[in-house]
Amino acid sequence: MDESGEWGKLSEYYLITLVFHVQSEPITEHIEKYERHLIDSGLPDIPFHAGPLFNGHDDYENVSLADRKRLFFAFFTLARNLPFRYVTFAHRKSLFDGSRTRFEAQLKRDLADFFLSHLDEFQSYETIKVYYDNGQQIVTNALKGSIGYALSKEAVVYRDSQPKDYRLEQTADLMCTIELTALKFDASEDTATDRKMFKDRHDFRKNYLKVMRRKQFRI
């Protein structure tokens, strides 16, 4: 699970993305192939984090734009091949008139409605493990509140995890970024950075969004 945005003035949108993986479906081979590709291509194995990668910040500070594009496409290729489904909930924060309480309640409704609409599937699993780094309290509250309401508490195990340690958490970051970029292109709010990475709306939708939307969990 990952989020994009924060409850302040730095972002127009707030998104949360849940990535679902059935543990009986192996992913190790895909990850090893990705890591071998990085070595063979002379690229650094930096835990994927879209924001710094796009802007050349943090661990990507000394990585050229050309190599950052190569890193992005390498991780995108990994994610495209991984067996997972995802769902994203996105809201424009201005619609909540600055009310954090209203926004948190909406997130809880989004998540609870989703779990309830797929209740048979989720109840078919003996255990559901939730990996989240508890990065934002508003998300933690909404997640635990909705799961506690919709699913059996005895069947859910929470794991405090760091994205750098899990490729699937990094995949949630990627999917948040893909869905946020779609919103921005559709609203003509795309940035120079978006255009450097994806060129334009047509290319983005054809080469990235359409490919990953095949993995979308239908609401």
- The dihedral region occupied by 48, where left means phi > 0, alpha psi between -120 and 50, and beta the remainder, is beta
Model pLDDT, residue 177:
96
Model pLDDT, residue 123:
83
pLDDT in tens, the chain (219 residues): 777 766 556 678 889 999 999 989 999 999 999 999 999 999 999 999 999 999 999 999 999 999 999 999 999 999 999 999 999 999 988 888 778 888 888 989 999 999 899 988 988 888 888 887 766 788 888 888 887 777 766 667 766 666 566 899 999 999 999 999 999 999 999 999 999 999 999 999 999 999 999 999 876
Please state the domain extents for the chain. Answer: 2-213
What DSSP designation does 82 have?
S
Question: Looking at the chain, which runs of residues are DSSP E strands?
Answer: 2-4, 13-20, 85-92, 128-132, 156-160
Query: What is the C-alpha to C-alpha distance for residues 61 and 128, in angstroms, rounded to an integer?
Result: 37
Burial class (CB in 10 A: 0-12, 13-18, 19+), 217: middle
Exposed e or buried b for every residue in 142-168, given b needs 16+ CB within 10 A? bbbbbbeebbeeeebeeeebebeebbb
Cβ partners under 8 Å of residue 213, min gap 6: none
Cβ partners under 8 Å of residue 38, min gap 6: 44, 45, 71, 74
pLDDT tens digit string along 190-205? Answer: 999 999 999 999 999 9
Model pLDDT, residue 78:
98
Model pLDDT, residue 101:
86
What does the block give as tokens for 27?
């992913």
Query: What is the C-alpha to C-alpha distance for residues 160 and 184, in angstroms, rounded to an integer?
Result: 31
Query: What is the C-alpha to C-alpha distance for residues 201 and 195, in angstroms, rounded to an integer?
Result: 8
